[in-house]
Chains A and B, each alone.
Chain A
């Protein structure tokens, strides 16, 4: 099959596949349907495989890896989250957080499928290996931060339910608070260092490639601001012993800035960081 046709079909199918996956996890989480329990992990593997085929087809069809626009990055972020979740589930054997994490992957993939553009011509520097490294590090960073936000949100939901003696689905199905907090902080630390690496690589590489490079580029400033925000959060945790709820709120606020940076800054304030 022609790679462009294949990538077109898969681009259309992927949001539905992710939606199906989210539905499977929702069935067990919210309604306790045990009959689909055994289907969940194979379904994750199947969707990841289809997604990889899509990325390969798209790379061949358009002669460049899908790293040139925010919506291409979003599809990478979706698969990255799905793979990270798959790893977490097989390591911890706990699937209770699957619905929430895969929902995030579904959102990213849907945005990507709706707005992605087919680019045949891209600037030469986008074939650079350094760019690949820069993007991979940023991707890992954002994946870590996204996972951290989901765990942070789950922590706050469970915290609220436990404190208000609401012993419903959230209470019964989610892992304990300490685990959620640990998962959130570990993902956050991973994301923080990966994003830091992306920033460092970018700061060395970008001025050499772009003639109009500016340290005041909105995306660069936004990303550094986010990184500094996380750094302040970690420092406060260490210095003032921020724990539990307070730390999870910081995580969620920081994620809102990340989302703001990915959307508003990318679309309305784009500087040299736009490649087409």
Chain B
């Protein structure tokens, strides 16, 4: 198999290096066109904040040096001062297939189980199709990679559990409240993590957000971006009974909320559950508040513990993911190996023969006993004649002067036309 993969990722390079190699959509379009012209019959580029990887099918009989491809990418990005070929890693054939599947599954991501990568692979696939640099092999490979990504997410827990402090806070809220659209949140102090948590809450459909900050302009700026309302910093205490989630991220040497304040708030809100996420350092909420019934208080340490445990759980899923990847690599090569003239002709014959036998068996009683042998013979001849033309076309495909790509094109057309070699899954997908 002439598949070659060359790329830079968080395994091989620091963020300073990786960011120099990141390709915008426009850059990818230009790079793909040049790569197809100079090196490949088919190619695809995957570029995210953690990796820039190139997958290509080398023309049959030709060779492409991985170092040349690395240099091409470096030159394309004009990054020769910062990025070196040593930052790249190259893989071929089965290793490249396995690696792409790892990428799509999220098991190769910086944060294991990253859910964005599958979309990024999908976008890369779409871009290559738009640029018409996609051929039968990579088309199939990318579809298989997307299938792998979905399968891994369904069959394993690799994407489960929050893996950032801000998302952990949101996950906690979802574990306490059934419907966030009926709840409201208040952010006290417009810090970066607080802002991020608020964004995640909005993503989960929180009903209402309020922001209070010592510098009112900062709160107003945040509200202008995210929506919601600004609360006067001095009026925070009066607002507390009306909110279900309090995020505090204030620079203060002593706690801004204590057990007595929260007791009072709880009485005012009829003891409905209250979540307090304290991401301030030093802590903004007195830890004794945690003892109050129906109050769920979390500080940065407890959220970090949650994140660490989730990461461990995700890592524990890797053997299951690997088993799926191995199955899918075998499945892909089963398809690829069938793309030979010999097996295709055999399968075509078998498929026609199966139809012939079925029809003869169904109708044989309509013929007299002495004619039945003749029916068998005649139908065989008909099949042979019908098959003659497609088989000739297939064999011509391998004739001198026709490249591997032409052979493959003919094989794929025949397989598609006569529906041969389709697995149950493929039939389902095509429907």
Verify if A63 is at the interface (C-beta below 8 Å from B): no
Q: Are A162 and B271 in contact (CB under 8 A)?
A: no
- Digitize B149-161: 1 where CB-to-A-CB distance is under 8 Å, 0 elsewhere: 0000001010011
Distance in angstroms between the alpha carbons of A165 and B287 in the assembled complex: 14
Q: How far is the CB of B266 from chain A (nearest CB, A)?
A: 9
Once bound together, how far apart are the Cα atoms of A246 and B178, in whole Å? 19
Given A167-B310, A241-B270, A244-B271, is A176 in contact with B174 using a C-beta cutoff of 8 Å? yes
How many of chain B's residues have a CB under 8 angstroms from any CB in A? 26
* Residue from A171, A182, A246 in contact with B175 in the complex, judged by beta carbons closer than 8 Å: A171
CB–CB A176/B298 < 8 A: no
Is the pair A176, B272 in contact by a Cβ cutoff of 8 Å? no
In the complex the two chains form, what is the Cα distance from A171 to B172 in whole Å?
Answer: 10
Closest residue of chain B to A177, judged by CB? B176
Residue of A nearest to B273 (CB): A244
Q: Which B residues touch A163, using CB under 8 A?
A: 290, 296
CA distance A179 to B177 in the complex (A): 8
Query: B178 to A172, Cβ gap below 8 A?
Result: no
Instruction: Give which listed residue, A32, A165, A171, A243, contacts B302 with CB less than 8 A.
Output: A165
Task: Tell whether B372 is near chain A: CB-to-CB under 8 Å.
Answer: no
Main SS class of interface, A: helix
Residues A127-183 near B (CB distance < 8 A)? 158, 162-163, 165, 167, 171-172, 175-179, 182
Task: Known A32-B157, A242-B271, A243-B271; judge A162-B293 contact (CB<8 A).
Answer: no
- Identify the closest chain A residue to B269 (Cβ): A241
Closest CB in chain A relative to B243 CB, distance in Å: 16
Shortest beta-carbon distance, A159 to chain B, in Å? Answer: 9
Asked if A4 is at the interface of the complex by the 8 Å CB criterion, the answer is no
Q: Residue A244 contacts which of B157, B294, B310 (CB distance < 8 angstroms)?
A: B294
B271 near A178: Cβ-Cβ < 8 Å = no
CB distance from B72 to the nearest CB of A (A): 44
Q: Is B306 in contact with chain A by the CB < 8 A criterion? A: yes
Which residues of chain B from 281 to 325 have any CB-CB distance to chain A below 8 Å in the complex? 290, 293-294, 296, 298, 302, 305-306, 309-310, 313
Q: Could you say which residues of chain A place their CB within 8 Å of the CB of B161? A: 167, 172
A137 and B305 alpha carbons, distance in the complex (Å): 49
Min distance, Cβ B144 to any Cβ of chain A, angstroms:
21
Nearest neighbor of B160 in chain A, beta-carbon distance: A172
Residue in A closest to B297 when the chains form the complex, CB atoms: A163
Count A/B pairs, Cβ under 8 Å: 55
Q: Which of A34, A167, A172, A245 contacts B155 (CB 8 A)?
A: A34
Given known A-B contacts A165-B306, A243-B273, A178 and B160 have beta carbons under 8 A apart: no
Q: Given known contacts A162-B172, A172-B161, is B293 in contact with A179 (CB within 8 Å)?
A: no
B296 and A176 contacting across the interface, CB-CB below 8 Å: no
- Quick check: B296 and A162 within 8 Å, CB to CB? yes
B174, B177, B290, B294: the one contacting A245 at CB < 8 Å is B294
How far apart sit A232 and B176, CA to CA, in the bound complex (Å)? Answer: 26
- Closest chain-B Cβ to A59's Cβ sits at a distance in Å of 41
A165 touches B298 (CB 8 A): yes
Instruction: Check if B310 sits within 8 Å of A178, measured CB to CB.
Output: no
CB distance from A158 to the nearest CB of B (A): 8
Contact indicator per residue, chain A 182-196, by CB within 8 Å of chain B (1) or not (0): 100000000000000
Answer whether A162 and B310 are a contact pair too, CB < 8 Å, given A241-B271, A244-B271: no
Q: Which of A167, A171, A177, A244 has the most CB of B within 10 A?
A: A167
Mask of B351-377 contacts with A, CB within 8 angstroms, 1/0? 000000000000000000000000000
Q: Are A178 and B177 in contact (CB under 8 A)?
A: yes
Q: Type the 1/0 row for A68-92, where 1 means its CB is closer than 8 Å to any CB of B.
A: 0000000000000000000000000
- How far, in angstroms, from A105 to B395 measured CA to CA in the complex? 68
Name the one of B178, B293, B296 contacting A178, with C-beta atoms under 8 angstroms. B178
Contact pick for B178, options A158, A179, A242, A244, CB 8 Å: A179
Q: Which residues of A contact B (CB under 8 A)?
A: 32, 34, 158, 162-163, 165, 167, 171-172, 175-179, 182, 241-246
Can you sample 12 A-B contacts with CB below 8 Å?
A172-B313, A175-B178, A176-B176, A177-B175, A177-B273, A178-B178, A241-B271, A243-B270, A243-B271, A244-B271, A245-B293, A246-B271
Known: A32-B157, A182-B178. 7 other contacts (CB 8 A): A162-B172, A162-B175, A162-B176, A177-B177, A242-B271, A243-B294, A244-B273
Residues of B within 8 A of A (CB): 155, 157, 160-161, 172, 174-179, 270-273, 290, 293-294, 296, 298, 302, 305-306, 309-310, 313
